[in-house]
Amino acid sequence: MMHSVIKILDKVIHFKTAQAHCDIPCKIYDPATAQLAALTCVRLMDLIKEIEGKGTLSVADYAQVSRLVGEKESASTEVKDAISIIWGDYFKAPQFELVSNAHNLTHSIMLQASKCKQGIDRAEGEKLVDLVNDFAEAFWLTKEVLTYRASCPYPPMLEMVYPDLKG
């Protein structure tokens, strides 16, 4: 009953939706979200370049580029959000002792993600992936989990850091 009343009120008042990860804290952190978002940036840059290579563009092509750019910028923001949450909520004194460059690495990722929002240079996207991979390695080091590198099995098929969870 109460749920129904709140649902009706929400339709009229439009309550603001709260979003967080997660100030409880839940202790569930994983750099995979940032890694996938960084890969997405590169993939979207590739798709934009494919359209650019057509030469003559249709209205549909312009609309597609607009959507791709919006998604690329959203993915860049997702990288920043995911990394800042891990850095700000998970990293404490013991992690900073293990990863002495955590502040500089995090700041570099923020700057690089901004560069990816500003342009479509694949090299900038690849640099973002590399930095996020470095962060993933550092993160897993703090968890005492070994990592390995392998190419991801989907475009853009870049090398990624994965936790070795078998051991």
Lowest mean pLDDT segment, chosen from 8-17, 26-35, 113-122, 126-135: 8-17
Q: What are the angstrom distances between the C-alpha of 126 and each of 13, 68, 109, 116?
A: 44, 17, 12, 10
For 30-66, write each residue's pLDDT tens digit.
Answer: 999 999 999 999 999 999 999 999 989 999 999 999 9
Q: What pLDDT is recorded for position 93?
A: 96
How far is it, in rounded angstroms, from Cα 156 to Cα 40? 8
Q: What is the mean pLDDT of residues 102-129?
A: 98
Is 1's pLDDT higher than 60?
yes
Please give the mean pLDDT across all residues of the chain: 92
In the chain, the domains with their CATH numbers are: 29-163 (1.20.120.400)
What pLDDT was estimated at residue 83?
Answer: 98
**Average pLDDT, integer, range 134-159:** 97
153 or 2, which is more confident? 153
Write the burial class of residue 113 (CB in 10 Å: 0-12 exposed, 13-18 middle, 19+ buried).
buried
